[in-house]
Structure formats: C-alpha cells, structure tokens
Structure 1
Amino acid sequence: MEKRKINRGCMEANILAILDSSIEFHNHRDSQEAKDDRIDFLEAVRTACIVPEHGTPPTKKMIEAVFQILKAGKSLELIMSSYGLLNEIENRFPRVYISESSGNGSRELVVVKEAWLPFVLSLDVMSSEKDSKGRKSCGLFNPNGFHELLLGIAEMSYKTISQRLDYKFLGNMLLFQYLVNVLEGDFVPRINMYKESLNWNILRECLLNMLLASRRITYKVLMKDCLYTICSLSQDHAGNHNESDCSETSIEKSSENHNTDVAIALLEVQRTTCMAMQKFLIMIMELDESKQQAEVLGQLNRADGLRTRLVEIILDELTYHRKVLPSFLQVFNDPKWKLEIIVQYLLKYIKPSVHTRRSNGPSEDFPFHGILKSFSDSSSTRNIIKKLNVEVVQLLLAHAFLAYTSMASQQHLSTMPDHNEAVTDSLSLMEISKNVTAAFNSLRKADEKIEISSLGKEALFTAGMIISTS
C-alpha cells in the first residue's frame, strides 16, 4: 500500500512537471511552446489515468490543473481537450455512485468524500481562498461565481455572431456544461436512491441543493437568467436573430477576420449549452418535486428553508413575457415537464369547474384530458381564446399533445409515479387524440379566420394517424 502511494506521488510529480510551475495556471503565456506544454500535460494525464483498463484516478492537483486550463485556455485545442478530459474523468471515476451488495442484493449510496470538486459550497469558504502555497485558487466556483458565469453567457447570447467569435465565450459555455455534468453526476444516483428509500437526507446533501440554498445567489434571478438564455440561444438555431442569423453564409462572413474553427464550433457548443441548461432546470424541478414529497412525509426542517418551485417561476415568466413562450416550447423538449408546464399554464385561464379533479391527489392536479374537455364547450373555448388568443392556444395544445405522444411512444406512461397525475392520464392515447381533434375543431368554430400553424397540422396529422390505426 505504501509503495502504491509513492508511485502515485511520482506519477503526479512527473506529469505536473510538464507544466511550467513558475507560471500560475490562470496567467497562461500565449506562446506556442506554452500551449504545447499544456497539450502534452493533458495527454499525459489521459494516458496515465484513462487509457489503462485499471487506471489510477488522477490526484486533486492534476484535476485542478486540467480544470484551470479549461477556465483560462486561449486556444480551441486546449479548451476542447481539457473539457473532454474532465468529462472522461467524471465518467471513469464518479464521486457518487450506487453500490450493490453481492450478498443480500441491497443497494447503498457511495460518496467519495476525498474526491476533488470544482465547487466551494460551504458558507465559510470563498472561491478566492488561497492554497498551501499562498496562490489564489482561481479554478473553484462558489454559488456567486456560478451565477456570474451563467450571466456572462446570457449577456453574450444577445450579441451578434461576430461578437461571439471569442475563445472566452466558447470556453465559458463548455465550462458551464462541465459544471452541470458534475451536478448531474452527484444528483442522479442520489435521487434514484431517494426514490427507493424516501430518505430526504440523501438529497439534502446533494451539490445541487447546496448550490440553490446558498445565500450568495438570488435564486429567482438565476432561474430567470437560465430561462432567457435558453430562449436566446435557441433563436439562433431557428434563424430568428435579425443581427445574428446563423446560416453557413453568415458564419463565413463573420469568420473572415476570426478563427474559422471557432466559428464552426460555436453553433454546436451553443446547441449543447442549451441542452445543459435544460438538464440543469430539469434536475431542479425533480429536486423540487422530491422536496415537496419529503415535506408531506414530515422530513423537512428549518434548515431546508423555503424556495419557490421552479415550475412556478417558469409559469410566471411565460405568463408575463408571452413573447418568449414559442421559443421556450421549441427548445425545451423534455416531454414530462413540458406537458406539466403547459397544463399548469392553461389552468391559469380555465375555470376549475370544467375539470375532473382527482380526489386522491393534490388540489392543483388536473389531468390533461380535463384541459382538452374544456374546448368541447363553445362558450368556454371563446372565453379562453379571448384571454390567450387563438394562436397561443393552438401552440400550447399542439406542443402538449406531441409531448404526450412522445411519452407514450417511450412507454413511460405506464411507469410514471402516481403523484404526477397532472401530466399522465389513464385515458388511452386514442381517446386523447380524439379530444385533441375535437379541441382544434372547436377553435375553428370559435374563430372562423383561424390559420392552423404547421405545428398544429403536425399534431392533427398525428392524432388522425393514431385514431385510424387504433
């Protein structure tokens, strides 16, 4: 055992020696030699720890050095290589995982407490704390630093393509993606174990919960920044930015005086950043749902604090800033939570008396078919479109139905938990399809000038196919 420690120390010393120790990682030189040194370092870490079948986990110093290269990298190769290596380390050597006993088949949560983390979440430690050599730890993020990173991405998302052709912006998006991957790696095994044990302590100690509970961030502002950044970045893929149309032609024009490789990478990284932000929001909604359940079970205490459910924040923003509704529904593609949000959104404009309540569920839970039945009454339909307008109504109905069919095609409907009755329904897909068709017919009667959108036509075509094949 002692010999192994010595070998690990030698390995660490040899690999770190590749870097110029006289220069702080956050103050890289721009010379080609310095970049080559860092590329060699990254490859050495990967060769020593990832490539071997039974590779040894990299030390904290090694991982932090890789992380700082990503944070301060000024070349596309350094940014992409360090980002890829960090994710390989995450997958190969998870900090949190579920271990199954070979004896009695029981499962337990394993947390490697000594593992390196990119976050500093304890209340008495700042991200600017100094290491043993008196240097500032420039690679670690406290909650405020995490929010500042997201805010920087949000601000850049509204700029033109030529303004976004920057290593820093590209690196920050990948940095955010990595931090979300770390949160996910900690959260997923914990919530899986929570669903088995219903022990809130498992989730109380997760990184995501500690991040959101921090007093250093304004939680609602952080959530709103995520929402609007997703919508802004998604508009590029839809070609809706007047000043930054992301067609191949505009990319070529914008990259004439810039690094063409950065221009090519930008679109893909923006797309994956949208996916990471959606993943971040979904984890928070899953956490909110579990916390609500833990509250019913009497497991919460004063230390857990109060936090507005993310679904409510999203609903408020989509209600008072309706112009972002189309882009949000376009980019947010998780069927479970998309349908939940749309159902709750429509309930703001539909009287509860026209719904079928679930006697054994929360008072706010209304099944999707209850929403659709609201459009079977002509006077009710007219009242709804007066409040929402017919274009918004058909947008919501089409997205909701397509999300519902997506869940059904993935065979999720039969396995969803009972407490999500607002989203899933006992009615067959054929009955839902008939109700959707009837709802659109009711819209036509209420507004003779209505033009069915392409998405509405897709929903009606899908409903027709389901009815005919059933």
Structure 2
Amino acid sequence: MEKENDINRGRSNKGGGIAENILAFLDASVTKDTQDANDDRIAFLEAVFAASIVPESGFPPTNKMSEAVFQILRLGKSLELIMRYPRVYLSNSSSSASLDLVVVKEAWLPFVLGLGTNDSEREAAHKKSGATLDSSGFHLLIQDIAAVAGEEKFQALDTKSLGSMLLFQYLVNVLEADILPRNSVYEETMNWALLRESLLNVLLGSRKLNYKGLVRDCLTIVCGLFQIQSAFSNDKICLENYVAKPSDSCDTAVAIALPEIGQNTCIAMQKLLILIMELDISKKKADMKGLTTRADGVRTPLVEVILDELTYNKGLLSPFLQVFNEPKWKLDIILQYFWKYIAKPSIRTRRSTDFVDDETFNGALKCFSNGTSTKGIIKRIGIKEIQLLLAHGYKAQLLLLSEQCPAEAISDSKEDVRSNSLVEISKNMISAFNSLRRTDECIEISSYVKEAMFTAATLLSKKS
C-alpha cells in the first residue's frame, strides 16, 4: 500500500511538473501570432492530449491547462490550431443500484455563469482573457455564426468563423453532458434542484440573455446552413468550383473544411433546441407538482417561440421542417401550428359537429373532412404551408409508429394495432389532400406531398 501511494504521489508530482513546463512556453507566446507561437500552441495541445489518455502514467488536465486549451480554441487564428482541440472527459461510476449524480465542482468549465454583483472584477478578467464565456458571450457567439449563415457570406468565411462553429459544437456537447445525467436522475427522483442548477437552465435564465433573440438567431443558423448544404449536395459542380476556386478571403483548406463543419454545426444547433425543449417539459412537470419557486422565473417554452417565428416569417417553415428531423418534437411543433389556427368552438352546436376534439395528427387530418372546414383552414394558414405541414407531419408520424413498435420486437397484437393505425392515418392523409384538390383546383402539389402520398398509397396497397 505504501509503495502504491508513493507511485501515485510520483504521478501527481509528474503531472504537476509537466503542467508547469508546458504552460511556461505557452505563456511566453500567448500574445504572439507567429508560426513559432502556433507551433508552441500545437505542442501544448499534443502534450495535454498525450498526458491525458495514457492510463498507466496519465493525469487529468489541471484547471489552468484546460483554460489554456479553451483559450486557444476561442482565439486561435490558425486552421491547424482550431481543428486540433482535444476532447477530454471525466467518467464517474457507482456501484449503487439506483442512479446517483456526481457533480465535480472543482472541474474546469468553459462557462462562467451565475455571477453575483461582487464578481464584476472576476467577470471582466474572464472577458479580457477570453478563457470562458458567460450567457451574453454565448449569445454573441451564436450571433457571429448567424451573421455568416448565408451562401454568399459562407463562401467568404475565414478561420475565425470556422473556429466559432467548432467552438459552438464543443459548447453544446458540454451542455448536453451536464444536463442528460441530471435529467435521468430527475425522472427517477423528481428532484427539480438537479435541473435548476444545470448549465443550460442557468444559461437560459440569465438576465443578460435575450432569450427570444437567441432563438431567432438559432433558427437563422439552422435554416441558413441547411439551405447551403442542400445547394452543395444538389449541385456537385457548384461544390467543386467552390473548393477549387475559393474566394480571395478564404484559403483552400478552409474551403474544404467548411461544408462538413457547417453540417455539424447544423446538427449541434438541432441538438441544442431539443435539449431546451426537454428542459421545458421537465420544468412543466415540476410546476405541476409545485416543485418550482419564484426564483425559477418564467420563460416562454421554446416550442411557442419557434411557432411565433415560423408563423411570422413563413419563409423559414420549409427549411426548418426539412432540417429538423427529430420526429417527436417535429410532430409536436406541426400539431401546435395546426391547432393555433384551427378554431375550436366555445360551445358545441349542431353546426360545430364537424369539429374534431382530437389533438393528434390523425385528428388534424380529420379537420379536412369537408369543403367548408378545408376552406377555413386554407384561409388561415395558406395552401403551401398546409402541404408542408401535412407531408412532414405524416412522415414524422410514421417514424414514431415504427420507433414505438419496432418490427423485430412486436407481438401479433401490437402488429395489429400498428397496422390499423397506419391504415387509418394513410386513408385520412389521402382524404385530406383530395379535399384540398377539390377546394383549390389550381393547387400545385409539391414534391414533399407527392412523396408522402406515394408512401400512403403504397402502405394501403400492402395492407389491402
């Protein structure tokens, strides 16, 4: 035992010595922007990465080392630097049968949140060093990405913009790694304090953050980057020319990296939106059980903010529905969009017997059962928007049914239930579009609708 302790102390001392040595030459070149300084920073990243992954003699990065690595990612101007950021994580295990959440309070984090009034000097120091981000800094980062999420500006991007996208992807991973285990324990224990103290909840609850402005910028990014990726994938000549002849302000290496970085940024943005939606649901459950207090504040659920943006700027609807591919939340947004415009009678009368009191996708399809109700919905929503909502809603519903009852794990009874659901939804889908055709004979059927109708007809033919 004594020998083992000596070895552990030796590793600790060795780790501290390495930390001091590799930080020494990094500090000497922190303000320089030369090739030698970049070489020093690359050597520093390699030293941290190598020392952290060797189980026999490795040691976890110190706070100063982690802060220095993050600073390189934030402020680095070299493509090689910002692409070499190492991923280091801590793994905590428990022998207990129940879920236990272990919070490592001393671990270094890229966020500095929840500062009090007496922490202004500390906050100023963090901003000056560029080592960490507060809520306003996080929003500024997203605004920087949103400002270049257009095809013309995207083709003129430099390493700074590429670094911003990589930084955003890393921060989303940090937020996800913090909140997912908390949410798992919350589902079991209903201890709202675990989610109240999560990085994401504290970030969104900050008074420094313009929450609705943040959501608008997020939608701008996710829709803008998707449209750029679609242009590249649909026009290989455009992509080849873009890579072969980059703009004057963009070198070839950046041009090659940007399409993939843009796609991964789009995926990270969708992940962030889903994390916020899940947090909203958890908070709603806590509210219903009386677990929240006034200190938790009031924040408009993300789905409602997205709906406001999609209805205010209908040009976002098509790209958003194409890029946002998580079926549960996609279908929820589509249904709330429908029920926002489908009027519900306050008093049930004979004239209101056509109203369907069923806020499911099948219920939405039944609202197109006759010409009168169909005309009213077209007037409120618009024929193009209805086609998009129904086509994407139908695909999302099919995905959900397949996930709930996967083919390899369903019994005969479950197969019958799923089969009946598919048949009914497919029939109502075809009926809804027939009603649209009768109501508007000049309707121009979009490719999304044609694909959805073909799928519905194929399913019905197989079941008949």
Could you say which TM-score interval applies, normalised by the shorter chain? Answer: 0.7 to 0.9
Match of 2:333 among 341, 349, 357: 341
8 A contact 2:151–2:228 mirrored in 1: no
1:218 aligns with 2:210: yes
Matched to 1:101, the amino acid is S
1:30 aligns with 2:34: yes
8 A contact 2:391–2:449 mirrored in 1: yes
Whole-angstrom distance in 2 between the partners of 1:12 and 1:261:
37
TM superposition shift of 1:466: 2.0
- Stretch of structure 1 that moved more, 278-287 or 254-263: 254-263
TM superposition shift of 1:29: 2.3
- Stretch of structure 1 that moved more, 226-235 or 288-297: 226-235
Whole-angstrom distance in 2 between the partners of 1:449 and 1:269:
42
Whole-angstrom distance in 1 between the partners of 2:251 and 2:329:
39
Q: Which residue of 1 aligns with 2:391?
A: 398
Q: Which residue of 1 aligns with 2:257?
A: 265
Whole-angstrom distance in 1 between the partners of 2:441 and 2:371:
13
Match of 1:229 among 203, 221, 227: 221
1:295 aligns with 2:300: no
Matched to 2:95, the amino acid is S
The Cα offsets for residues 167-205 of structure 1, whole Å up to 9 and x where unpaired, read as: 100001110111111000001111111111222111111
Matched to 1:270, the amino acid is G
Paired residues, number: 434
Whole-angstrom distance in 2 between the partners of 1:2 and 1:469:
71
Matched to 2:106, the amino acid is E
8 A contact 1:18–1:38 mirrored in 2: no
Q: Which residue of 1 aligns with 2:69?
A: 66
Larger helix share, 1 or 2: 2
Whole-angstrom distance in 2 between the partners of 1:326 and 1:334:
15
- 1:187–1:426: structure 2 CA closer, same or farther, 3 Å change rule? farther
The 5 A counterparts of 1:45-194 are 45-52=48-55, 55-82=58-85, 85=86, 88-90=87-89, 93-94=90-91, 99-102=93-96, 105-124=97-116, 125=119, 128-130=123-125, 136-158=128-150, 160-161=152-153, 164-194=156-186
1:207 aligns with 2:199: yes
8 A contact 2:101–2:185 mirrored in 1: yes
Q: Which residue of 1 aligns with 2:425?
A: 432
The Cα offsets for residues 34-89 of structure 1, whole Å up to 9 and x where unpaired, read as: 2222222211211111243784322111211111111111221111111xx1xx31
Q: Which residue of 1 aligns with 2:377?
A: 384
Matched to 1:276, the amino acid is A
Q: Which has the larger radius of gyration?
A: 2
Supply the RMSD in Å over aligned alpha carbons: 2.7
The Cα offsets for residues 4-54 of structure 1, whole Å up to 9 and x where unpaired, read as: 3553343243245235244364x34222x2222222221121111124378
Q: Which residue of 1 aligns with 2:306?
A: 314
Matched to 1:467, the amino acid is L
Whole-angstrom distance in 2 between the partners of 1:347 and 1:53:
60
Matched to 1:399, the amino acid is H
- 1:161–1:252: structure 2 CA closer, same or farther, 3 Å change rule? farther
Match of 1:441 among 434, 452, 462: 434
Match of 2:451 among 458, 461, 466: 458
Q: Which residue of 1 aligns with 2:316?
A: 324
Whole-angstrom distance in 1 between the partners of 2:190 and 2:57:
35
Q: Which residue of 2 aligns with 1:44?
A: 47
- Stretch of structure 1 that moved more, 35-44 or 285-294: 35-44
SS of the residue 2:101 aligns to: strand
- 1:136–1:395: structure 2 CA closer, same or farther, 3 Å change rule? closer
- 1:196–1:356: structure 2 CA closer, same or farther, 3 Å change rule? farther
TM superposition shift of 1:347: 1.0
8 A contact 1:318–1:324 mirrored in 2: yes
SS of the residue 1:121 aligns to: coil
TM superposition shift of 1:213: 0.6
- 1:389–1:66: structure 2 CA closer, same or farther, 3 Å change rule? same
Q: Which runs of 5+ in 1 are unaligned?
A: 359-365, 415-424
TM superposition shift of 1:253: 2.5
8 A contact 1:143–1:211 mirrored in 2: yes
Whole-angstrom distance in 2 between the partners of 1:328 and 1:374:
24
SS of the residue 2:148 aligns to: helix
Whole-angstrom distance in 1 between the partners of 2:425 and 2:72:
52
Q: Which runs of 5+ in 2 are unaligned?
A: 346-353, 408-417
8 A contact 1:356–1:367 mirrored in 2: no
- 1:177–1:462: structure 2 CA closer, same or farther, 3 Å change rule? same
- 1:331–1:465: structure 2 CA closer, same or farther, 3 Å change rule? same
- 1:138–1:115: structure 2 CA closer, same or farther, 3 Å change rule? same
Whole-angstrom distance in 2 between the partners of 1:295 and 1:58:
40
SS of the residue 1:196 aligns to: helix
8 A contact 1:123–1:214 mirrored in 2: no
Q: Which residue of 1 aligns with 2:11?
A: 7
Whole-angstrom distance in 2 between the partners of 1:389 and 1:23:
62
